[in-house]
Structure 1
Amino acid sequence: MASLVIGSCMLKCGEKEDFFKSNCNWAGAPRVFFKSKSKNNGVSTSRFSFSNSSLFVDNGSGSTKLISSAQTGEVMAIASQPVMEVAVKKKPPTMERRVVVTGMGVTTPIGHDPHEFYENLLQGVSGISEIEAFDCSQYPTRIAGEIKSFSTDGWIVPKLSKRMDKFMLYMLTAGKKALSDGGISEDMMNELDKRRCGVLIGSAMGGMKVFHDAIEALRISYRKMNPFCVPFATTNMGSAMLAMDLGWMGPNYSISTACATSNFCILNAANHIIRGEADLMLCGGSDAAIIPIGLGGFVACRALSQQNTDPARASRPWDSNRDGFVMGEGAGVLLLEELEHAKQRGATIYAEFLGGSFTCDAYHMTEPHPKGTGVILCVEKALAQSGVSKEDVNYINAHATSTPAGDLKEYQALVHCFGQNPELRVNSTKSMIGHLLGAAGAVEAVATIQAIRTGWVHPNINLETPDEGVDTNLLVGPKKERLDIKISRIILVHLTDTRNIWKDP
């Protein structure tokens, strides 16, 4: 059957957010499906949000206007009124270029390579603990999915590693590990047409620590500031530094769309290959926001769990005692490759990209739509675009951040889309690593691909008293479970909706 990963930062920020509900009705993201190279034909999906530099604007009279940017060629359709009903036509088969996953790299609180990371997930190991990076004794939240041990040795030049923000260090390390996992040796690197190799790795928060340190230095004098503080604070600099290090001259930029960041990057990277603009793309996301201003910001909007006495049990998706999400940090990177290019060099193929879709909740900045219309529309469009039936999906790695509003609405939308399928199993990786923000989609994509490859799905930890209306028969229990996955979906749900689909080549 299949699997799904869903992501979102559904924050409940209080009555002050009513202004946004009435004046800023927008939201949405892409979806991604993966399908394994096993005889069971696994597939998975991911979800992202939309960033653009060119716009088609509906002026209300039925006509549209194209607004372009000189920097990029991306476009986005903007309607004056939400479209509630959209007829979705199944995409006819075409002979377009096929995209596969040939390498993976991660930096997470419970492992720094895909095997170690997934083995810890299967064992139910929690990476959430008390924050050690700074004194947070005065904060109501003092826990996070913090990376305690991390080394750039062998991956990044020491001089650079001392200057870069951690989000860049995580990104570059995971990116190079994805190359190594994909079998791109130094000799093979020299044989690549680097004009057709690109990097598209994003970040939701960017270089917050570098920027924060620069502000503190400025209190003394501008002469004390890190001369690289401005470029190293931007979200695209990690992608740029990796491309410069590798000499890759193809598409290079980043997308920053909160929790949907890395999923957007994956979808756009795949599209570059499909359109013939690249043969190889490193893509994903990275974030390192566990610093005073990052923690304080989420505390201020009342989004975080305050269950400090037992950190490992604080992230509890679908449990009635959940009280907010837990911050995490890290990076996830996929190596995407054109199928024939991968075959020619004898690469190991983990999954194949099939298609994707973009939709928008058009409702609220942080709250999920009461009826889940944006999620439902995006799932249905992604299934149609990929030619995948909902009956084929039997595993969903949900976004499920452990927020009171988000988890239940997400669950209800999934039941609407897939019904009460007795073979369907649902879990949440965030129960063990917390919410990695812009890296969430890519890290959970790696978890989903590993589930397809191994035939094991990881447990839901801390699910002790399920929400009323949540059928525990659909949820993976407290121990890992054996599951033959045919179709797998990864969905990241936030302000925007995106789905991508992958299959067995």
Structure 2
Amino acid sequence: MKESKRVVITGLGALTPIGNNVKDFWTNLISGKSGAGPITKFDTEKFKTKFACELKDFDPADHFDRKEIRKMDPFCQYALVAADEAVSDAKIDFDSVNKNRIGVIWASANGGMETFENQVTEFNGGDGTPRFNPFFIPRILCDTSSGLISIKYGIRGINYNTISACASATTALVDAFNYVKWGKADMIIAGGSEAAITRSGIGGFGALRALSTLNDTPEIASRPFDTERDGFVMGEGAGAMILEDYDHALARGAKIYGEVLGGGMSGDAYHMTATHPDGIGAILGMEMALEDADLTPQKIDYINAHATSTPLGDVSELNALVTLFKDHAKNMNISATKSMTGHLLGAAGAVEAIATLLSIKENIIPPTINTQNLDGNVPDGLNLTLGVKQEREVNYALSNTFGFGGHNASIIFGDMAQ
């Protein structure tokens, strides 16, 4: 059996509601900036939820020509922009590496929602003649994102898309980690993108009563663990990471942000949309990640919680943490960065993984904002990093994401000095 490879992160890319690059994202994240505001993408007059965490000052024409824009749904545009930042950050010279051993594992839970919505609406409003854009099918397919990234850089290694609802991007990162660890690839561009702030996205999640309806105060609507939380705030954007074999990174003189130590994935086997109240699946996923990383629970300093600001999900996750980490749960920092970015659905895990990794590099815990009145069902003594960032030594950190269908994915990062 081949010896397992060490896997490191050598590049980051982010396109988020609180920053269109990694630097701005991190600065606004640790400053506690909310990305929520009124929806500008469509008329919300007849919708119960009228706000979301949209991208700010993003113009695809700044990145693509008109011909390229016509071929791509926004979720693919977001993917290429984030991936390009990560590639540039990692300073990859594709002419000097083996392109057959570089892959792409990308995530999107919903794919081309805007394209599908627009095309079907136009068809239904016409005379019944099926006049569809020739790019309709490739624009809606989730895997178009990974394909476009590989085409852009001419890389021919492992290439596919992961779909596990809101756990999709973490699933992509865990898969990428495993392929590099197993020696199946030297480097993988991994992450996720989502563009679901559309009439069907807001309307569909609204019909599930999953979205907040605090339309008068959108900037404080995402309030994890708060007794008055009433649902999540939709977000959009992308996050990208370059996962690379440690020896390969050293050979090309790459800077290293940190190490991927382990990943775990599990299923709740409980309900199509609700998380298990005792967090049984979440516990299993975290246990698997810790075992993979060869770490005891007491080694974890920080957890970036899934915490979407839903009445049931937030508490079930905290119960799971207490069950698994026991007394150490009070020694860790926990925070919910969705309180600032909103919920990026299939891209959430990638954006939150960046936040988790940077917490190790900078020894700063991003805050949980907007939580004013703590839910009485929240376990006592937990440090939820409320209101403002906290500085502390962070050597090991874990990021959780959970998705409809009972999908759970956890990933652990570590400081290379450890």
TM over 0.5: yes
Alignment pair present for 1:117 and 2:61: no
**Would the aligned equivalents of 1:109 and 1:330 in 2 still touch at CA under 8 Å?**
yes
Offset of 1:152 from its aligned partner? 3.8
Residue 215 of structure 2 corresponds to which residue in structure 1? 308
CA spacing shift, 1:198–1:273, aligned 2, 3 Å: same
Residue 451 of structure 1 corresponds to which residue in structure 2? 359
**Would the aligned equivalents of 2:171 and 2:265 in 1 still touch at CA under 8 Å?**
no
CA distance in 2, matches of 1:472, 1:329: 33
Identical aligned residues as a percent:
41
**Would the aligned equivalents of 2:18 and 2:56 in 1 still touch at CA under 8 Å?**
no
Residue 500 of structure 1 corresponds to which residue in structure 2? 411
Q: Residues 87-486 of structure 1 correspond to what in structure 2 (within 5 A)?
A: 95-152=3-60, 155-184=63-92, 188-219=93-124, 220=126, 224-421=131-328, 422-470=330-378, 471=380, 473-486=382-395
Offset of 1:393 from its aligned partner? 1.2
CA distance in 1, matches of 2:61, 2:14: 15
**Would the aligned equivalents of 1:156 and 1:172 in 2 still touch at CA under 8 Å?**
no
CA distance in 2, matches of 1:193, 1:136: 49
**Would the aligned equivalents of 1:152 and 1:173 in 2 still touch at CA under 8 Å?**
no
CA spacing shift, 1:244–1:162, aligned 2, 3 Å: same
5+ long unaligned stretches in structure 1: 1-92
SS at match of 1:191: coil
CA distance in 2, matches of 1:263, 1:195: 24
Of 450-459 and 290-299, more deviation after overlay is shown by 450-459
SS at match of 2:71: coil
Residue type matched to 2:412 in 1? Answer: I
CA spacing shift, 1:94–1:199, aligned 2, 3 Å: closer
CA distance in 1, matches of 2:386, 2:222: 15
CA distance in 1, matches of 2:264, 2:26: 28
CA distance in 1, matches of 2:395, 2:337: 20
**Would the aligned equivalents of 1:431 and 1:461 in 2 still touch at CA under 8 Å?**
yes
Offset of 1:241 from its aligned partner? 1.1
* TM-score with structure 2 setting the length: 0.94
**Would the aligned equivalents of 2:277 and 2:312 in 1 still touch at CA under 8 Å?**
no
Q: Identify which of structures 1 and 2 has the higher relative contact order when contacts are C-alpha pairs closer than 8 Å and 6+ apart.
A: 1
Offset of 1:119 from its aligned partner? 0.7
How big is each residue's C-alpha offset from its partner over 1:38-73, in whole Å with a ceiling of 9 and x where there is no partner? xxxxxxxxxxxxxxxxxxxxxxxxxxxxxxxxxxxx
Offset of 1:499 from its aligned partner? 2.7
**Would the aligned equivalents of 2:361 and 2:415 in 1 still touch at CA under 8 Å?**
no
CA distance in 1, matches of 2:122, 2:284: 48
Aligned length: 410
How big is each residue's C-alpha offset from its partner over 1:116-150, in whole Å with a ceiling of 9 and x where there is no partner? 10110111110000101100111111010111311
CA distance in 2, matches of 1:212, 1:140: 19
Offset of 1:383 from its aligned partner? 1.2
CA distance in 2, matches of 1:410, 1:286: 24
CA distance in 2, matches of 1:153, 1:446: 26
CA distance in 2, matches of 1:472, 1:167: 40
**Would the aligned equivalents of 1:315 and 1:402 in 2 still touch at CA under 8 Å?**
yes
CA spacing shift, 1:154–1:311, aligned 2, 3 Å: closer
CA distance in 1, matches of 2:301, 2:5: 27
CA distance in 2, matches of 1:447, 1:153: 28
CA distance in 1, matches of 2:259, 2:2: 15
Residue type matched to 2:413 in 1? Answer: W
SS at match of 2:161: coil
SS at match of 2:114: helix
How big is each residue's C-alpha offset from its partner over 1:158-188, in whole Å with a ceiling of 9 and x where there is no partner? 421233111000001000111001112xxx2
SS at match of 1:254: strand
Moved over 4 A (4+): 221-224
Offset of 1:356 from its aligned partner? 2.3
Offset of 1:268 from its aligned partner? 1.1
CA distance in 1, matches of 2:35, 2:415: 32
CA distance in 1, matches of 2:94, 2:107: 23
CA distance in 2, matches of 1:452, 1:355: 15
Offset of 1:331 from its aligned partner? 0.5
Residue type matched to 2:398 in 1? Answer: R
* TM-score with structure 1 setting the length: 0.78
Residue 488 of structure 1 corresponds to which residue in structure 2? 397
**Would the aligned equivalents of 2:264 and 2:287 in 1 still touch at CA under 8 Å?**
no
**Would the aligned equivalents of 1:156 and 1:173 in 2 still touch at CA under 8 Å?**
no
Residue type matched to 2:170 in 1? Answer: N
Offset of 1:154 from its aligned partner? 6.1
**Would the aligned equivalents of 1:361 and 1:496 in 2 still touch at CA under 8 Å?**
yes
SS at match of 1:104: strand
Residue type matched to 2:402 in 1? Answer: V
CA distance in 2, matches of 1:222, 1:177: 42
SS at match of 1:306: coil
Q: State the Cα RMSD in Å.
A: 1.7
SS at match of 2:260: strand
SS at match of 2:307: coil
Residue type matched to 1:191 in 2? Answer: S
